[in-house]
Amino acid sequence: CQPDLLETIPNDRISADIFWQTEADAELAANALYPTLDGLRTVTYDGITDILHTNRAFMGNYTIERGRATADHGRFLGEWDDAYEAIRRANDFMDNIDRVESDNADVINRLKGEVMTIRAYHYIKLAMLYGDVPLITKGIDIEEGRNVTRTPVDEVWNFIASELDKAASLLPVDNGSRISQGVANGLKARAMLFAGRYAEAAVAAKDVMDSGQYDLHSSYFELFQYEGEGNNEVILQREYAKGTDNHNPYTVLAPWSQIGGSNGSQYVPTAKLVDLYKMKNGMAINEEGSGYDTSNPYENRDPRLKYSIFVDGVPLPGGGVYNSTPGGDGSDPVGETIYATTTGFNVRKYVDEEDYTDPGNSGLNINLLRYAEVLLTYAEAKIELNEIDQSVYDAINAVRQRDDVSMPPITSADASSQTEMRAVVRKERTIELAFEGLRLFDIRRWKIAEDVMQGDPRGTYYVENDEVKQVEVAGIDRLFDPAKDYLWPIPERERELTSLSQNPGW
Amino acid sequence: QGSDSQTALLIHKEESKTGQLTSLGNELRRLETSYEVNIFYKSKEVQGKQVMASAGSQEGLEASLSLLLEPLNMQYRKLTPKSYVVFEKEKEIIKQETVEGTVTDQTGETLPGVNVLVKGTTSGTSTDVRGTFELSVPSLQDTLVFSFIGYQTQEVPIAGRTTIDVALQPQAITGEEVVVVGYGRQEKVSVTNAVSSVSSEDVSRRPVADAQQSLQGLSSGVTVRDQGGSPGDKNISIRIRGVTTLSNNDPLVIVDGIEQRFSDVNPDDIESISVLKDASSTAIYGSRAANGVVLITTKRASSSEVNVDYKGYYAIQDAINRPEHIGLEEYFRLENVAYQNAGREVPYSEAYIQEYVQNAPSPEYPLPFPWFRRDDLGILELAPQQNHTLAVSGGGEDIKARMSVRYQDVGGIVPNFSDETKEFRLNTDYTPSEQLKVSADLNYRSGETHEPGDGEFKVFNYMLHATKFSWPKYESGEYGLGPQVNNPLLFAEQTGDFRYQNDYLIGNIKGEYEFLPNLTFSTRYALRYSSTQQKRYWARYSNRDPLTDRFTQRQTNYLQEYRSYLREYTLNSLLEYTNDFGKHGVTALAGYSTVDNRRNRLTASRQDFYNNQVRSLNQGSEENKGATGRDFDYGLRSFFSRFNYNYAGKYLVELNARYDGSSRFSKDNRYSFFPSFSLGWRLSQESFWDQLKPYVNEFKLRGSYGATGNQAVDLYTYYQTLAAVNYTFDGEPVAGYAQSRLANQNLTWETTTQTNIGFDMEMMDSRLGLSVDYYKKVTDDILLGLPIPRLIGLSAPPQNAGTVENEGYEITIDYKGGNEFTYDIGLNFSDNKNEVIDLAGTGPYISGSSPNPTFITKEGMPISSHWGYLADGLFQSQEEADSWPDMAMNSNPKPGDVKYRDLNNDGVVNTEDRTDLGRSFPRFNYGLNMGFNYKNFELFTQWQGAAGHEIMISGGLNHQATYEAFTHAIYADYWTPENTDARFPRPIKGDTKNRQVSNRTVYSADYLKLKNVTLTYNIPTRFTEKVSLDRASIYIGATDVLTFSELTEWDLDPEIPSGRANFYPQVRTYTVGVNLRF
């Protein structure tokens, strides 16, 4: 008769009672925040915008893209849930970190800075998606949870700003792959841009630019490939590792022909985006004398087009070239199956040849904040402040002129007024940051969603009987109600368990 | 022998010369000393007997004993080298007369082993292998008593004859039947609880691969759902009296006193199965008993006669249901209409259709989904199955044993599926003394199951989905690839191998000591060990369709090894007291039990092996290797007791109690108490019943009430713990820790309180039996993962909240009749109404979403009911469509679309308008078993069914060509302006708006199946004896012979779960078997 028969102590987890004692504990707890950073989800945000189409009618995202989701839609709850789970982890850290006995204040401060930054990262997302959200900064129990209320979004932005300032002061300039000062400042720049607080955005962006820590990588293509990992441009990324901490960008994004079974092509670019890429000479495709050839539409374009998107003629991971002409015998004919692209385009960012052989096991990192965005944020903030000086042109042109892009610079001859420059920076941002999870927030804050999110998306151009035709993606019929759709609803499920108010129109 | 005994012998010789008389007792004691042996005797047999002293002084002990005892008409027997027993010779029957004869059964078949006794004496014999006996009797006026298990005992006056042939009648439902109950046995007449028992004969009437199948349709109140499954992986669930909780609803299964899995028993080893249904019978199992208890007893050697039994069958399996695809031409037209309705270009021209139809099927013109076809294009084949059990039993007075060995091999109806089981069992019984009994059992099983590397899902899902227009396989060996680049045959044949091996060992020792008359102590210790090795090898493959040039491959091969170990130590100790005080009968039992369960598991993986033949971990690449492991321990400590009292066998009372402690709960909530009682009244024993007795010879009223528990909660949920979350910095893995779930310190057991009222009656000399039970059980404190606001950021701990009620009744009728042509009929019927009473203000819980199966658990409804829209047929005009309330799923309704109803009349049809579409779990279960015997033939048929529940078909079978999946022939009747009276709506490519979960897509799953037909021929003894066989029979049979169900028109089995029907299909088996006894 063993006295301890009923005292089974688990040995595959640790008791909360013995934790929070050493510096090592603090580091372990801080590490647990990093997996909460978004990965491929960034791409799926773009999949509910005008530049990327959710290619599967039975995926939840499709309903949102069409503007027909209701408050009980799974994604509305899922995003909310994941963000608050991360925030809880951060709150638990902040609640307990002072229990740790350490002589090394630097380490503790550094870790606090990391955790505060990641918490702010999630609040930025929540504020952009839902507007007013409960601002929870400590671990709460069930009863407290039932009684929380929504904090006005301005206060949430205030919190984010002050947290990121505090974090920046605690963080070192160089912190390896971990959250550094640049992340806190860069996220603040993003947040303030979203919040429309342009002066603060410009200052924060300038702080990053002045830190000397970051530089544009010479190859745009490599930024989204294994080859480019460890470059100087990426400020924050969600890291993955094959085997142990893998994910599947290839399975999700690769052209249908490049992966067996009913996989790939879950999100496909639209003609809306493709047409935005200028000619190599800097002219828009519809400009007179641009040299745009309707029967050869993807040649002589901004090189970022083929780095970002599989269009006809782009080499495929398994060999051969991409071709999506409907009814043709190319690699990915539109309409061949419901799993093939419906627009005739495929995402190329994050589709790495190396994953072709083991598609479900990718270790490719996902960029969450890169220097190019900071430059464009700086430029946009300055333009919105109407402080258009040379530094604005420099920032935009730096992005346009990295080695493997080398587009002609924008000069004051091309654009000089605030309106002109606003158009320039927005276009640049759309192209440079395509599929990186910012488009949804951009069309919201620019208030252009009701214009761009209407009707059916369109696809690739092809020649049939000597006639240039364009693929049409029928039956999507997107709707966007400006009175309601600029914010997601507070998830219905959450409202059943709390007394949270609902956003207008939902 | 040492020199001391030599000396003793010399001294003795000296003394013996005196030749005096001495008492026998003295002489025996002297011999004990001289020879250093023990001599036992009954004192009253020795007292007062005188012997010549010299008689005991022969050379050697045994010679002395003979000389001493012979004149006294006594004898001795050597027990051990050092002990003898001395006793009076039995008074021999004076051999006056000899009687001989043959004993047969009602069919004239001779019966070996029948006991033949002279009435009033202990002298007798038993029949030999030819059923004949020869017996000396004191007088030809005596009476002989013939008895044999399973037959009515017959007394036959000799009446002066010397040859007596007797035909024994099989026993009707008998009052003396003994029923296995928790921690013991009871006479059936004294059982006051709701217990169904199933005998080995019933179990073995239907050849099955898994013992669980044998219980289907045999017992009221028991729902066995056989959802098919690949060889070795049967999806069978057993529910006793419905679904009581939201988590684990499996009954507790006890095999020979130890918790095991039902499938861990060889059906041929089963002696009896008892299903304990009410609280009074189950409460003695306390915290594990809320879902009912199944007690299985395995066969043991019953007599000292050595029996060798062989049971074997060979069967052919064939897939029963093969969904029929719509005809090719109709298919193209349907596709065209579907595209047209979606506003898209029509894909197939008339000329193309004609060309295709004329040339199909051929590699250039493949059929859309040929996989289920019976011709060469189909991939479901006939598969063999065989099972053999050889059992030997027998022994002596002190030691008896039964050993069995079994081999089973089940082939797959698709390549690379198979299952093989080998096992043996040894059950031994020792009786060292009258007080002490010891038994030791051992069962070892080794099983090996195979399936393709990509598993069952890949093969069967792709038979219905995503393989349109794929030629199955070219003669050159390549597989055809349609537009979606899949092929189920390729997945079966080329994706590698999954091997599941299980070694299962259970050893079980029991000692029983009667240290006072009527008071017995027994203790049982069991060690259960299970080791599972899984090796899943995802092979590298590549395949190019030579005609379409489509290509698919897996470049990286991958191996995952999985090990899981279970060790469980169970100790049960019982103290039992039984006595009768005049008319008061008392039985009391007290027990103590511990279960110590330890499991751990381990996985390891590597990839990039040299080729597909190299399948050993260390041959894989150093990169991307992985290893994980988990440990699980739990303990259970219990004290329990039972008290039975009866007065004159008429009034019966039983009290049960169990006090259980489980490691799953925190210290404060660890122990719980589960009491119960039951009462019975045998009215048929009362004098006022005498007049009724000729009609109803047995009638008993029963009632019970009590509580049982359910400890089905994950381990360690009351701990506040941090779990590892890992991350990678610069390719270097780092550890992290975070809390992910709120802990609930207050967690405790679920409690089920059950009331049961019933009666048992036997009529027509017990040829007709009837049992009826009514019950109501309420499960409280159901462990619910009550949702908490997600903004708390941790997942919800289970909380004790909900209440579920089950109410129902059960009827069992048995009849045995006939004379030369005899038959037995068993009918059982049960009704179970399930209702969620309380979810602590939460819910409803909706799982799934349209067009996939959607279930709701909501107060006032049965658990997991179907949930969806009500639809009113199809729009016939645009005006009708325009005037209909706005439908969320269809913003632009057209004629031919489904009319979903606005149930809450708010002008919009949305998820708020969904309603109850019926149960997912059957309300009614019924079984009818009929056996017919004529001469040497026996015909057995088993009918089984369930009703009152629905099934939702989703995926390809629901799509109606909206996507690219299988299109069932039934969809030929779709709406067009020319066919407005259609059963199905207009098809729309890429749109499920007309395929919502509704009363149109949920079908009645009521069914009645002829589960089994077996025709047996018992080979007459005159043939069997020539080959030294005692008995031999040969049978042919078939399973799942007939099915009556609404799902038959979909070519689906009604027992499948809701969903995509992408499971390994149910098979029908055609069986040939023999049963032999040597």
β B38-41/B83-88 pair status:
parallel
Note whether B195 and B285 are within 8 A (CB): no
Give the closest-approach CA distance of B436 to chain A in angstroms: 24
* Interval B544-577: pLDDT, tens: 999 988 888 888 999 999 999 999 999 999 999 9
Structural domain harbouring A101: 21-171+489-497
Q: Is residue A86 part of a domain?
A: yes
Q: Which of A80, A241, A318 sits opposite B731 (nearest CB)?
A: A241
| Interstrand relation of B115-118 and B143-147 (parallel, antiparallel or unpaired) | antiparallel
Handedness of CA A395, A400, A405, A408 (dihedral sign): negative
B203-229 pLDDT, tens digit per residue, is: 877 778 788 888 888 888 888 888 877
Q: What's the helix, strand, coil split of chain A in %, to 5? A: 45, 10, 50
Interchain CB distance below 8 Å, A15 and B730 = no
DSSP E strands, A188-345: 234-238, 267-269, 309-310
Q: What would the two tokens of residue B960 be?
A: 């109606």
Nearest to A497 among B716, B738, B788 (CB): B788
Supply the pLDDT for residue B57.
Answer: 67
- Write the residue in A12, A145, A262 that is nearest to B630 by C-beta: A12
pLDDT band at B96 (very low <50, low <70, confident <90, very high): low
Contact A77 B790 (CB under 8 A): yes
Name the residue in chain A with its Cα closest to that of B543. Answer: A260
Residue B681 is inside which H or E element, if any? Answer: strand B671-682
- For residue B171, the model assigns a pLDDT of 64
Residue A326 forms contact with B (CB below 8 Å): no
B685-700: average pLDDT: 92
A211 interfacial to chain B (CB closer than 8 Å)? no
What local confidence, expressed as pLDDT, does residue B208 receive? Answer: 80
Other CB atoms within a 10 A radius of the CB of residue A232 amount to 13
Q: Is A64 on the interface with B (CB under 8 A)?
A: no
Tell whether A15 is within 8 A of chain B (Cβ).
yes
> What pLDDT, on the 0 to 100 scale, is given for residue B14?
41
A141 touches chain B (CB under 8 A): yes
Whether residue A35 and residue B727 make contact (CB cut-off 8 A), yes or no, is yes
A345 within domain boundaries: no
Contact B737 A33 (CB under 8 A): no
**Residue A148, domain CATH:** 1.25.40.890
Contact A245 B554 (CB under 8 A): no
Q: d(Cα A268, Cα A271) in Å, to the nearest integer? A: 10
CB contact under 8 Å between A136 and B791, yes or no, is yes
pLDDT tens digits for range B116-172: 888 777 677 878 878 888 888 877 888 888 887 667 778 888 888 888 888 887 765
Which chain A residue has its CA at the smallest distance from B988's CA?
A475
Element at A423 (helix H, strand E): helix A418-432
Tally of residues, chain A: 506
Query: Does A53 fall in a domain?
Result: yes
State the pLDDT at residue B1004: 96
Q: Is some CB atom of chain B closer than 8 A to the CB atom of A406?
A: no
> Dihedral of CA A297/A298/A303/A307: which sign?
positive
Residue B49 structure tokens: 């007997």
**Nearest-by-CA chain A residue for B990:** A57
Give the mean pLDDT of B701-726.
88
- Whether A218 has its CB under 8 Å from any CB of chain B: the answer is no
Q: Is B888 on the interface with A (CB under 8 A)?
A: yes
pLDDT, averaged across chain B: 89
Task: Please check whether residue A143 touches B, CB under 8 A.
Answer: no
Residues of chain A with pLDDT under 70: 1-3, 261
How confident is the model at residue B19, as a pLDDT? 53
| pLDDT at residue A102 in the model | 87
Is residue A150 domain-resident? yes
Structure tokens that stand for A344 in this block: 């005739």
Fold annotation for B3-88: Phage tail protein beta-alpha-beta fold (3.55.50)
According to the model, what pLDDT value does residue B490 have?
A: 96
Say if residues B235 and B1064 touch (Cβ distance below 8 Å).
no
Q: Are B740 and B795 in contact (CB under 8 A)?
A: yes
- Supply B80's token pair: 């051990």
Is A226 inside a domain boundary?
no
Chain B hits for A146, Cβ within 8 Å: 789
Instruction: Note whether B344 contacts A240, CB cutoff 8 Å.
Output: no
What does the angle CA A334 – CA A336 – CA A342 come to, to the nearest 5 degrees?
Answer: 35
CA distance B634 to chain A (A): 6
B-proximal residues of A, 97-136, CB under 8 Å: 134, 136
With respect to residue A93, please indicate whether it lies within any of the assigned structural domains. yes
Do residues A383 and A421 touch, judged by C-beta distance below 8 A? yes
Element holding B628 (H helix, E strand): strand B626-647
Helix (H) or strand (E) holding B64: helix B61-69
Choose the most confident range, by mean pLDDT, from A2-11, A380-389, B764-773, B841-850.
A380-389
Contact B807, B833 (CB under 8 A): yes
Where are the domains positioned within chain B? 3-88, 97-168, 326-366+963-994, 870-913
**Is residue A57 situated within a structural domain?**
yes
- Backbone phi, psi, residue B883, to 5°: -85, -5
Interface test with B, best of A1, A2, A6, A472 (most B CBs within 10 A): A6
Number of other CB atoms surrounding residue B591 within 10 Å: 21
Summarize pLDDT for B1052-1074 with one digit per residue, the tens: 999 999 999 988 988 999 999 99
Read off the pLDDT of each residue in B335-362 and give the average, rounded to a whole number: 93
B1023-1048 residue pLDDT tens = 887 888 888 999 999 999 999 999 99
Q: How far apart (Å, rounded) are the C-alpha atoms in residues B844 and B840?
A: 11
Report the run of H or E that residue B560 belongs to, with start and end: strand B558-581
Note whether A493 contacts B787, CB cutoff 8 Å. yes
Check whether B7 has a pLDDT greater than 60.
no
Q: Report, as an integer, the average pLDDT of B606-623.
A: 91
Is residue B310 helix, strand or coil?
A: strand
Q: Which residues of A touch B594 (CB under 8 A)?
A: 1, 5
Up-side HSE of residue A152: CA atoms within 13 Å toward CB?
Answer: 3
Nearest CB to A142 within list B485, B792, B963: B792
Segment 782-801 of chain B within 8 Å of chain A by CB: 787-794
**Record: contact B793-A91, CB cut-off 8 A:** yes
Q: Which residues of B touch A473 (CB under 8 A)?
A: none
Q: Return the residue in B555, B593, B792 with the most chain A beta carbons within 10 A, the one to mutate for interface testing.
A: B792
Q: Is B627 on the interface with A (CB under 8 A)?
A: no
How far off is chain A from B1046, nearest CA to CA, in Å?
28
A378 inside domain:
no
**Which residues of B fall within a CB distance of 8 Å from A244?**
626, 726, 728, 733
Kindly write down the DSSP assignment for every residue of B212-247, as one continuous string.
GGGGTTTSTTEEEEE---STT---EEEEESS---SS
- Which of residues 153 through 182 in chain A touch B, CB cutoff 8 A? 176-178
- Chain A 335-394, residues with CB within 8 Å of chain B CB atoms: 335-340, 356-358, 361, 363
Q: Which string of DSSP letters, residue by residue, matches B812-870?
A: EEEEEEESSEEEEEEEEEEEEEEEEEE-TT---EEES-TTS--EEE-TTS-TTEEEEB-
CA nearest B540 in A: which residue?
A357
pLDDT over 80 (residue B55): no
Pick from A147-156, A250-259, B8-17, B670-679: least confident: B8-17
Secondary structure (3-state) at B928 = strand
User: How many beta carbons lie within 10 A of that of residue B546, not counting itself?
Assistant: 14
Quote the pLDDT of residue A269. Answer: 98
pLDDT digits (tens, 9 = 90+) for B497-554: 999 999 999 999 999 999 888 999 999 999 999 999 999 999 999 999 999 888 888 8
The two tokens of residue A59 are 């995926």
Residue B141, beta-bridge partner list: none
Choose the closest CB to B556 out of A31, A148, A358.
A358
Q: How far apart are CA A178 and CA A482, in angstroms?
A: 39
Q: Which CATH architecture has domain B97-168?
A: Sandwich (2.60)
Nearest-Cα distance to chain B for A443, in Å, is 26
Percentage of chain B exceeding pLDDT 70: 96
Token pair 């009684």: residue: A147
